[in-house]
Amino acid sequence: MSYRFKSVMLAGLLLGPVTLNAQNPDINYDESKVQPFAFLDPLITYSAKRVKTVQRWENERRPELLKKFASEVYGTTPSRRLATRYELRSVDSSALGGTAIRKQISVIWTEYPDLPSLDILLYVPKNKSGTGKPPVFVGLNYMGNHSISPEPGIALSTRWLPNRPDGKVVNNRATEAARGVQQSRWPLELIIAKGYSVATAYYGDLEPDHPEGWKSGIRSVLDPPTNQKSDGWQAIGVWAWGMSRMLDYLETDNLVDAKRAVVMGHSRQGKAALWAGAQDPRFAIVIANESGEGGAALSKRNFGETIERLNRSFPHWFCPKYRTYNNRPDALPVDQHQLLALIAPRPLYVASAEGDRWADPKGEFISARLTDPVYQLYGKKGIGTDTWPAIHSPVGETVRYHIRAGEHDVKRYDWEQFIDFADKQFRKAQ
Ligand code: GTR
Protein backbone atom coordinates (compact mmCIF):
# COMPACT_ATOMS: atom_id res chain seq x y z
CA MET A 1 0.00 0.00 0.00
CA SER A 2 1.58 3.26 -1.06
CA TYR A 3 1.75 6.11 1.38
CA ARG A 4 -0.09 8.26 -1.12
CA PHE A 5 -3.00 5.89 -1.33
CA LYS A 6 -3.23 5.57 2.44
CA SER A 7 -3.30 9.30 2.92
CA VAL A 8 -5.86 9.79 0.14
CA MET A 9 -8.01 7.17 1.78
CA LEU A 10 -7.76 8.66 5.21
CA ALA A 11 -8.00 12.32 4.26
CA GLY A 12 -10.30 12.24 1.31
CA LEU A 13 -12.55 9.23 1.46
CA LEU A 14 -13.02 8.53 5.10
CA LEU A 15 -12.79 11.57 7.33
CA GLY A 16 -15.87 13.26 8.68
CA PRO A 17 -16.38 15.73 11.50
CA VAL A 18 -19.54 14.39 13.12
CA THR A 19 -19.48 12.05 16.11
CA LEU A 20 -22.07 9.30 16.30
CA ASN A 21 -23.30 7.88 19.57
CA ALA A 22 -21.34 4.64 19.84
CA GLN A 23 -23.97 3.02 22.05
CA ASN A 24 -26.84 3.68 19.71
CA PRO A 25 -25.58 4.16 16.21
CA ASP A 26 -28.12 4.99 13.61
CA ILE A 27 -27.86 3.82 10.06
CA ASN A 28 -25.72 6.44 8.37
CA TYR A 29 -26.35 7.45 4.78
CA ASP A 30 -24.39 10.68 4.88
CA GLU A 31 -20.90 10.51 3.40
CA SER A 32 -19.86 13.53 5.48
CA LYS A 33 -20.65 11.54 8.63
CA VAL A 34 -18.39 8.66 7.79
CA GLN A 35 -15.97 8.35 10.69
CA PRO A 36 -12.25 7.73 10.34
CA PHE A 37 -11.35 4.11 10.98
CA ALA A 38 -8.32 1.90 11.21
CA PHE A 39 -7.12 0.35 7.99
CA LEU A 40 -6.10 -3.27 8.53
CA ASP A 41 -3.23 -4.00 6.19
CA PRO A 42 -3.74 -7.39 4.55
CA LEU A 43 0.03 -7.71 4.26
CA ILE A 44 0.95 -7.24 7.93
CA THR A 45 0.68 -10.39 10.02
CA TYR A 46 -0.84 -10.54 13.50
CA SER A 47 2.71 -10.73 14.80
CA ALA A 48 3.43 -7.43 13.00
CA LYS A 49 5.59 -8.84 10.22
CA ARG A 50 5.35 -7.40 6.72
CA VAL A 51 4.55 -9.94 4.02
CA LYS A 52 6.67 -9.38 0.95
CA THR A 53 6.48 -12.68 -0.87
CA VAL A 54 3.79 -14.95 -2.26
CA GLN A 55 5.27 -17.74 -0.20
CA ARG A 56 4.83 -15.90 3.07
CA TRP A 57 1.36 -14.80 2.06
CA GLU A 58 0.33 -18.37 1.26
CA ASN A 59 2.06 -20.12 4.14
CA GLU A 60 1.49 -17.67 6.93
CA ARG A 61 -0.72 -14.67 6.34
CA ARG A 62 -3.48 -16.21 4.23
CA PRO A 63 -4.03 -19.13 6.65
CA GLU A 64 -4.12 -16.85 9.70
CA LEU A 65 -6.66 -14.56 8.02
CA LEU A 66 -8.83 -17.52 6.99
CA LYS A 67 -8.80 -18.70 10.59
CA LYS A 68 -9.76 -15.27 11.87
CA PHE A 69 -12.69 -15.00 9.49
CA ALA A 70 -13.84 -18.39 10.77
CA SER A 71 -13.43 -17.56 14.47
CA GLU A 72 -14.75 -13.98 14.36
CA VAL A 73 -17.24 -13.77 11.49
CA TYR A 74 -18.56 -16.85 9.69
CA GLY A 75 -17.88 -19.70 12.10
CA THR A 76 -15.64 -22.70 11.54
CA THR A 77 -16.61 -25.04 8.74
CA PRO A 78 -16.82 -28.67 9.91
CA SER A 79 -14.17 -30.83 8.33
CA ARG A 80 -16.19 -34.03 8.30
CA ARG A 81 -17.31 -34.99 4.79
CA LEU A 82 -20.81 -36.28 4.35
CA ALA A 83 -21.13 -39.39 2.19
CA THR A 84 -23.10 -38.60 -0.96
CA ARG A 85 -24.84 -40.27 -3.83
CA TYR A 86 -25.80 -38.39 -6.99
CA GLU A 87 -29.20 -39.24 -8.39
CA LEU A 88 -29.98 -38.09 -11.90
CA ARG A 89 -33.63 -37.05 -11.82
CA SER A 90 -34.10 -35.82 -15.38
CA VAL A 91 -32.33 -34.91 -18.59
CA ASP A 92 -33.84 -32.83 -21.37
CA SER A 93 -31.55 -32.42 -24.33
CA SER A 94 -33.66 -29.80 -26.05
CA ALA A 95 -34.25 -27.30 -23.28
CA LEU A 96 -34.54 -23.54 -23.82
CA GLY A 97 -35.82 -23.92 -27.37
CA GLY A 98 -33.24 -26.57 -28.24
CA THR A 99 -30.21 -24.50 -27.24
CA ALA A 100 -29.37 -26.30 -23.99
CA ILE A 101 -29.28 -29.57 -22.13
CA ARG A 102 -31.12 -29.39 -18.82
CA LYS A 103 -30.30 -31.85 -16.05
CA GLN A 104 -31.68 -32.20 -12.55
CA ILE A 105 -29.49 -34.00 -10.07
CA SER A 106 -30.14 -34.68 -6.40
CA VAL A 107 -27.25 -34.87 -3.98
CA ILE A 108 -28.40 -37.45 -1.44
CA TRP A 109 -26.71 -37.51 1.97
CA THR A 110 -26.56 -41.27 2.27
CA GLU A 111 -25.92 -41.51 6.02
CA TYR A 112 -28.97 -39.33 6.69
CA PRO A 113 -31.91 -40.44 4.55
CA ASP A 114 -34.22 -37.91 6.24
CA LEU A 115 -32.04 -34.94 5.42
CA PRO A 116 -33.38 -32.98 2.43
CA SER A 117 -31.36 -33.58 -0.73
CA LEU A 118 -29.52 -30.76 -2.49
CA ASP A 119 -31.30 -30.51 -5.82
CA ILE A 120 -29.08 -29.15 -8.57
CA LEU A 121 -30.50 -27.71 -11.76
CA LEU A 122 -27.90 -27.63 -14.52
CA TYR A 123 -28.13 -26.00 -17.94
CA VAL A 124 -25.39 -26.70 -20.47
CA PRO A 125 -25.13 -24.98 -23.87
CA LYS A 126 -25.41 -27.31 -26.86
CA ASN A 127 -23.58 -24.96 -29.14
CA LYS A 128 -20.04 -24.89 -27.81
CA SER A 129 -18.64 -21.50 -28.67
CA GLY A 130 -15.13 -21.92 -27.25
CA THR A 131 -12.80 -24.85 -27.13
CA GLY A 132 -13.38 -27.73 -24.78
CA LYS A 133 -16.15 -28.19 -22.26
CA PRO A 134 -18.07 -25.08 -21.22
CA PRO A 135 -17.24 -23.23 -18.01
CA VAL A 136 -19.93 -23.15 -15.37
CA PHE A 137 -21.52 -20.51 -13.16
CA VAL A 138 -22.38 -21.92 -9.74
CA GLY A 139 -24.84 -20.14 -7.48
CA LEU A 140 -27.68 -20.68 -5.05
CA ASN A 141 -31.12 -19.28 -5.76
CA TYR A 142 -33.61 -17.76 -3.32
CA MET A 143 -36.96 -19.16 -4.38
CA GLY A 144 -36.42 -22.71 -5.61
CA ASN A 145 -35.09 -24.02 -8.91
CA HIS A 146 -38.50 -23.57 -10.48
CA SER A 147 -38.20 -19.81 -9.89
CA ILE A 148 -35.31 -19.25 -12.30
CA SER A 149 -37.16 -20.26 -15.47
CA PRO A 150 -40.77 -21.00 -16.42
CA GLU A 151 -39.73 -24.28 -18.12
CA PRO A 152 -42.37 -26.76 -16.94
CA GLY A 153 -39.89 -29.64 -16.75
CA ILE A 154 -38.20 -28.12 -13.70
CA ALA A 155 -39.39 -29.81 -10.52
CA LEU A 156 -41.42 -27.48 -8.32
CA SER A 157 -39.63 -27.26 -5.00
CA THR A 158 -41.52 -28.86 -2.13
CA ARG A 159 -39.32 -27.25 0.51
CA TRP A 160 -40.04 -24.47 2.98
CA LEU A 161 -40.05 -21.11 1.18
CA PRO A 162 -40.76 -17.62 2.47
CA ASN A 163 -44.36 -16.64 1.77
CA ARG A 164 -44.90 -14.07 -0.95
CA PRO A 165 -47.42 -11.23 -0.84
CA ASP A 166 -48.41 -12.05 -4.45
CA GLY A 167 -49.81 -15.41 -3.28
CA LYS A 168 -47.39 -17.49 -5.36
CA VAL A 169 -45.94 -19.10 -2.23
CA VAL A 170 -48.63 -20.00 0.29
CA ASN A 171 -48.17 -21.65 3.70
CA ASN A 172 -44.46 -21.66 2.94
CA ARG A 173 -44.95 -23.86 -0.12
CA ALA A 174 -44.52 -22.97 -3.80
CA THR A 175 -47.55 -23.00 -6.06
CA GLU A 176 -47.43 -23.57 -9.83
CA ALA A 177 -47.69 -19.79 -10.21
CA ALA A 178 -44.22 -19.47 -8.65
CA ARG A 179 -42.54 -20.82 -11.78
CA GLY A 180 -40.18 -18.26 -13.25
CA VAL A 181 -40.74 -15.62 -10.54
CA GLN A 182 -37.03 -14.84 -10.43
CA GLN A 183 -36.17 -15.46 -14.07
CA SER A 184 -34.97 -11.89 -14.53
CA ARG A 185 -32.13 -12.71 -12.13
CA TRP A 186 -31.02 -15.68 -14.26
CA PRO A 187 -30.92 -14.64 -17.95
CA LEU A 188 -30.40 -18.22 -19.12
CA GLU A 189 -30.65 -17.45 -22.83
CA LEU A 190 -27.83 -14.92 -22.54
CA ILE A 191 -25.62 -17.17 -20.42
CA ILE A 192 -26.16 -20.16 -22.70
CA ALA A 193 -25.67 -18.13 -25.89
CA LYS A 194 -22.33 -16.96 -24.53
CA GLY A 195 -21.23 -20.56 -24.07
CA TYR A 196 -21.57 -20.89 -20.29
CA SER A 197 -23.31 -23.52 -18.21
CA VAL A 198 -25.22 -22.68 -15.05
CA ALA A 199 -25.64 -24.84 -11.97
CA THR A 200 -28.03 -23.63 -9.30
CA ALA A 201 -29.84 -25.02 -6.27
CA TYR A 202 -32.27 -23.61 -3.72
CA TYR A 203 -30.35 -22.35 -0.70
CA GLY A 204 -33.10 -23.62 1.60
CA ASP A 205 -32.19 -27.19 0.60
CA LEU A 206 -29.12 -26.66 2.78
CA GLU A 207 -30.76 -24.56 5.45
CA PRO A 208 -34.09 -22.75 5.38
CA ASP A 209 -33.39 -19.07 5.97
CA HIS A 210 -34.86 -18.42 9.43
CA PRO A 211 -33.53 -18.83 12.97
CA GLU A 212 -34.99 -22.34 13.37
CA GLY A 213 -34.00 -23.39 9.86
CA TRP A 214 -30.94 -25.33 11.00
CA LYS A 215 -33.21 -27.98 12.50
CA SER A 216 -34.16 -29.25 9.06
CA GLY A 217 -30.84 -28.53 7.37
CA ILE A 218 -27.25 -29.75 7.16
CA ARG A 219 -26.35 -28.23 10.51
CA SER A 220 -28.73 -30.60 12.30
CA VAL A 221 -26.36 -33.46 11.50
CA LEU A 222 -22.99 -31.77 11.01
CA ASP A 223 -22.83 -29.14 13.73
CA PRO A 224 -26.01 -28.29 15.65
CA PRO A 225 -25.76 -24.82 17.25
CA THR A 226 -27.03 -26.07 20.59
CA ASN A 227 -23.95 -25.37 22.68
CA GLN A 228 -23.35 -21.93 21.15
CA LYS A 229 -19.61 -22.17 20.54
CA SER A 230 -18.26 -18.73 19.80
CA ASP A 231 -17.05 -19.90 16.37
CA GLY A 232 -20.14 -22.05 15.74
CA TRP A 233 -21.05 -22.76 12.12
CA GLN A 234 -24.00 -20.70 10.92
CA ALA A 235 -26.17 -20.31 7.85
CA ILE A 236 -23.83 -18.21 5.67
CA GLY A 237 -21.18 -20.85 6.29
CA VAL A 238 -23.62 -23.63 5.41
CA TRP A 239 -24.57 -22.00 2.12
CA ALA A 240 -20.90 -21.47 1.27
CA TRP A 241 -20.22 -25.11 2.06
CA GLY A 242 -23.16 -26.10 -0.16
CA MET A 243 -21.64 -24.33 -3.16
CA SER A 244 -18.51 -26.43 -2.70
CA ARG A 245 -20.67 -29.55 -2.62
CA MET A 246 -22.23 -28.46 -5.92
CA LEU A 247 -18.73 -28.19 -7.30
CA ASP A 248 -17.95 -31.71 -6.02
CA TYR A 249 -20.82 -32.91 -8.18
CA LEU A 250 -19.79 -30.82 -11.19
CA GLU A 251 -16.34 -32.38 -11.05
CA THR A 252 -18.02 -35.69 -11.83
CA ASP A 253 -20.13 -34.38 -14.72
CA ASN A 254 -18.41 -34.65 -18.10
CA LEU A 255 -20.60 -32.02 -19.70
CA VAL A 256 -18.93 -29.10 -17.90
CA ASP A 257 -15.42 -27.88 -17.19
CA ALA A 258 -15.34 -27.77 -13.38
CA LYS A 259 -11.85 -26.29 -13.53
CA ARG A 260 -13.52 -23.17 -14.88
CA ALA A 261 -16.19 -22.80 -12.21
CA VAL A 262 -17.36 -19.28 -11.40
CA VAL A 263 -19.06 -18.94 -8.03
CA MET A 264 -21.62 -16.17 -8.12
CA GLY A 265 -23.92 -14.87 -5.41
CA HIS A 266 -26.22 -11.94 -4.84
CA SER A 267 -26.69 -10.20 -1.52
CA ARG A 268 -26.68 -12.77 1.33
CA GLN A 269 -25.60 -15.28 -1.27
CA GLY A 270 -22.88 -12.82 -2.29
CA LYS A 271 -21.57 -13.02 1.28
CA ALA A 272 -21.71 -16.82 1.03
CA ALA A 273 -20.05 -16.83 -2.41
CA LEU A 274 -17.11 -14.81 -1.07
CA TRP A 275 -16.70 -17.13 1.90
CA ALA A 276 -16.96 -20.15 -0.44
CA GLY A 277 -14.37 -18.65 -2.79
CA ALA A 278 -12.03 -17.80 0.07
CA GLN A 279 -12.14 -21.33 1.47
CA ASP A 280 -12.32 -23.34 -1.73
CA PRO A 281 -9.57 -22.55 -4.24
CA ARG A 282 -11.25 -24.77 -6.84
CA PHE A 283 -13.51 -21.81 -7.68
CA ALA A 284 -11.60 -20.19 -10.54
CA ILE A 285 -13.49 -16.87 -10.37
CA VAL A 286 -15.54 -15.33 -7.57
CA ILE A 287 -18.40 -12.85 -8.07
CA ALA A 288 -20.20 -10.99 -5.29
CA ASN A 289 -23.18 -8.92 -6.40
CA GLU A 290 -24.35 -6.30 -3.88
CA SER A 291 -23.09 -8.42 -0.99
CA GLY A 292 -22.86 -5.47 1.42
CA GLU A 293 -22.24 -5.78 5.15
CA GLY A 294 -20.59 -9.08 6.02
CA GLY A 295 -19.80 -9.42 2.28
CA ALA A 296 -17.62 -7.10 0.24
CA ALA A 297 -18.39 -3.85 2.10
CA LEU A 298 -15.93 -2.63 4.73
CA SER A 299 -17.32 -3.33 8.22
CA LYS A 300 -15.44 -0.52 9.85
CA ARG A 301 -16.84 2.14 7.53
CA ASN A 302 -20.07 3.38 9.06
CA PHE A 303 -22.35 3.66 6.06
CA GLY A 304 -25.52 1.68 5.44
CA GLU A 305 -26.15 -1.62 7.23
CA THR A 306 -24.15 -2.27 10.40
CA ILE A 307 -22.94 -5.46 12.07
CA GLU A 308 -25.46 -4.85 14.82
CA ARG A 309 -28.36 -4.61 12.37
CA LEU A 310 -27.19 -7.65 10.47
CA ASN A 311 -27.00 -9.77 13.63
CA ARG A 312 -30.29 -8.47 14.96
CA SER A 313 -32.21 -9.18 11.75
CA PHE A 314 -30.46 -12.47 10.97
CA PRO A 315 -29.19 -14.08 14.20
CA HIS A 316 -28.66 -17.37 12.36
CA TRP A 317 -26.25 -16.08 9.68
CA PHE A 318 -22.97 -15.36 11.49
CA CYS A 319 -21.09 -16.96 14.36
CA PRO A 320 -21.85 -15.94 17.98
CA LYS A 321 -18.50 -14.20 18.28
CA TYR A 322 -19.48 -11.77 15.51
CA ARG A 323 -22.26 -10.47 17.75
CA THR A 324 -19.66 -9.22 20.21
CA TYR A 325 -18.69 -6.65 17.56
CA ASN A 326 -22.19 -5.15 17.39
CA ASN A 327 -21.67 -1.41 17.83
CA ARG A 328 -17.91 -1.80 17.99
CA PRO A 329 -16.70 -2.76 14.52
CA ASP A 330 -13.45 -0.99 15.40
CA ALA A 331 -12.61 -3.96 17.65
CA LEU A 332 -12.91 -6.54 14.84
CA PRO A 333 -9.46 -7.95 14.05
CA VAL A 334 -10.41 -8.32 10.37
CA ASP A 335 -12.16 -6.23 7.75
CA GLN A 336 -13.87 -7.38 4.62
CA HIS A 337 -11.20 -6.31 2.11
CA GLN A 338 -9.06 -8.99 3.75
CA LEU A 339 -11.72 -11.57 2.91
CA LEU A 340 -11.61 -10.38 -0.70
CA ALA A 341 -7.83 -10.62 -0.64
CA LEU A 342 -8.11 -14.33 0.20
CA ILE A 343 -9.41 -14.84 -3.33
CA ALA A 344 -6.08 -13.66 -4.84
CA PRO A 345 -4.62 -14.37 -7.31
CA ARG A 346 -7.91 -15.61 -8.74
CA PRO A 347 -10.14 -13.12 -10.56
CA LEU A 348 -12.72 -11.39 -8.39
CA TYR A 349 -15.72 -9.27 -9.37
CA VAL A 350 -17.45 -6.95 -6.89
CA ALA A 351 -20.67 -5.30 -8.10
CA SER A 352 -22.84 -2.61 -6.51
CA ALA A 353 -26.05 -0.78 -7.36
CA GLU A 354 -26.63 2.93 -7.02
CA GLY A 355 -29.96 2.50 -5.27
CA ASP A 356 -28.57 -0.07 -2.85
CA ARG A 357 -27.09 2.29 -0.28
CA TRP A 358 -27.87 -0.26 2.45
CA ALA A 359 -24.99 -2.33 1.02
CA ASP A 360 -22.63 0.69 0.96
CA PRO A 361 -21.54 0.71 -2.71
CA LYS A 362 -18.58 2.97 -2.01
CA GLY A 363 -17.47 0.74 0.86
CA GLU A 364 -17.60 -2.19 -1.56
CA PHE A 365 -15.44 -0.30 -4.03
CA ILE A 366 -12.84 0.77 -1.45
CA SER A 367 -12.72 -2.77 -0.14
CA ALA A 368 -12.04 -4.17 -3.62
CA ARG A 369 -9.39 -1.50 -4.19
CA LEU A 370 -7.66 -2.39 -0.92
CA THR A 371 -6.91 -5.89 -2.23
CA ASP A 372 -4.54 -4.45 -4.84
CA PRO A 373 -1.30 -4.99 -2.84
CA VAL A 374 -2.09 -8.70 -2.50
CA TYR A 375 -2.76 -9.09 -6.22
CA GLN A 376 0.44 -7.13 -6.86
CA LEU A 377 2.39 -9.77 -4.94
CA TYR A 378 1.36 -12.13 -7.73
CA GLY A 379 2.24 -9.57 -10.41
CA LYS A 380 -1.42 -8.90 -11.12
CA LYS A 381 -3.27 -5.65 -11.42
CA GLY A 382 -6.38 -5.42 -9.28
CA ILE A 383 -8.64 -2.36 -9.32
CA GLY A 384 -5.80 0.07 -10.08
CA THR A 385 -7.55 3.35 -9.27
CA ASP A 386 -8.68 5.29 -6.20
CA THR A 387 -11.53 6.86 -8.11
CA TRP A 388 -14.94 5.36 -7.46
CA PRO A 389 -16.21 4.90 -11.02
CA ALA A 390 -19.32 6.41 -12.56
CA ILE A 391 -22.45 4.35 -13.13
CA HIS A 392 -22.03 1.60 -15.73
CA SER A 393 -18.26 2.12 -16.05
CA PRO A 394 -16.55 -1.06 -14.80
CA VAL A 395 -12.95 -0.65 -13.62
CA GLY A 396 -10.10 -3.00 -12.80
CA GLU A 397 -8.33 -5.97 -14.30
CA THR A 398 -8.02 -9.10 -12.17
CA VAL A 399 -10.29 -7.44 -9.61
CA ARG A 400 -13.17 -5.71 -11.31
CA TYR A 401 -15.93 -3.47 -9.98
CA HIS A 402 -19.02 -1.79 -11.32
CA ILE A 403 -21.92 0.18 -9.99
CA ARG A 404 -25.16 -0.15 -11.89
CA ALA A 405 -28.12 2.21 -11.92
CA GLY A 406 -31.19 0.97 -10.06
CA GLU A 407 -32.08 -1.03 -7.03
CA HIS A 408 -30.81 -4.04 -5.08
CA ASP A 409 -31.20 -6.87 -7.60
CA VAL A 410 -29.38 -8.90 -10.23
CA LYS A 411 -29.98 -7.54 -13.70
CA ARG A 412 -29.05 -8.49 -17.21
CA TYR A 413 -26.48 -5.68 -17.15
CA ASP A 414 -24.71 -7.37 -14.22
CA TRP A 415 -24.60 -10.72 -16.01
CA GLU A 416 -23.29 -9.10 -19.18
CA GLN A 417 -20.36 -7.71 -17.19
CA PHE A 418 -19.74 -10.99 -15.34
CA ILE A 419 -19.70 -12.97 -18.58
CA ASP A 420 -17.43 -10.47 -20.29
CA PHE A 421 -15.08 -10.62 -17.30
CA ALA A 422 -15.06 -14.42 -17.24
CA ASP A 423 -14.40 -14.48 -21.02
CA LYS A 424 -11.35 -12.26 -20.60
CA GLN A 425 -9.99 -14.15 -17.61
CA PHE A 426 -10.43 -17.59 -19.16
CA ARG A 427 -8.92 -16.41 -22.43
CA LYS A 428 -5.88 -15.09 -20.54
CA ALA A 429 -5.50 -18.36 -18.69
CA GLN A 430 -5.41 -20.42 -21.92
C1 GTR B 1 -30.97 -7.65 3.75
C2 GTR B 1 -29.70 -7.74 4.55
C3 GTR B 1 -28.54 -7.57 3.63
C4 GTR B 1 -28.65 -8.49 2.44
C5 GTR B 1 -30.07 -8.59 1.91
C6 GTR B 1 -30.35 -9.75 0.96
O7 GTR B 1 -32.11 -7.59 4.46
O8 GTR B 1 -29.75 -6.77 5.55
O9 GTR B 1 -27.33 -7.74 4.33
O10 GTR B 1 -28.15 -9.73 2.75
O11 GTR B 1 -30.98 -8.76 2.93
O12 GTR B 1 -29.80 -10.83 1.09
O13 GTR B 1 -31.19 -9.54 0.09
Using 50, 70 and 90 to split pLDDT, how confident is the model at 3? very low
d(CA 140, CA 99): 23
146 is catalytic: no
pLDDT at 23: 41
Q: Which of 207, 203, 225, 226 is nearest to 216 (CA)?
A: 207
Cis-peptide into 281, omega within 30 deg: no
Instruction: State residue 18's pLDDT score.
Output: 31
Provide the pLDDT for residue 129: 62
DSSP state, 164?
Answer: -
Domain limits, the chain: 1-74+284-430, 79-227+238-252
State phi, psi for 71 to the nearest 5 degrees.
-80, -25
Q: What is the pLDDT of residue 141?
A: 98
Using the mean position of ligand 1's atoms as its centre, give its distance from the Cα of residue 289 in Å: 11
Is 267 in the active site?
Answer: yes
Residue 336's closest CA among 37, 108, 15, 57? 37
If you average pLDDT over residues 86-99, what whole number do you get?
98
Contact 249, 86 (CB under 8 A): yes
The mean of the pLDDT values for the chain is 93
> From the CB of residue 254, how many other CB atoms can be counted at a distance below 10 Å?
7
pLDDT at 383 over 60: yes
The mean pLDDT of 398-404, rounded to a whole number, is 98
pLDDT tens sequence across 166-216: 999 999 999 999 999 999 999 999 999 999 999 999 999 999 999 999 999
Phi, psi (rounded to 5 degrees) for 409 = -175, 175
**Which residue among 268, 308, 316 has the greatest number of ligand 1 atoms within 8 angstroms of its CB, and so is best to mutate?**
268
**Ligand 1 test: best mutation among 236, 267, 299, most atoms within 8 Å of CB?**
267
Percent above pLDDT 90 for the chain: 91
Helix (H) or strand (E) holding 85: strand 84-94
User: Quick check: 91 pLDDT over 90?
Assistant: yes
pTM of the entire predicted model: 0.94
pLDDT of residue 4: 33
pLDDT at 226: 86
Give residue-wise pLDDT tens across range 227-240: 779 999 999 999 99
Which ligand 1 atom sits closest to the C-alpha of 408?
13
Give the pLDDT score at 130: 62
At 429 the pLDDT is 83
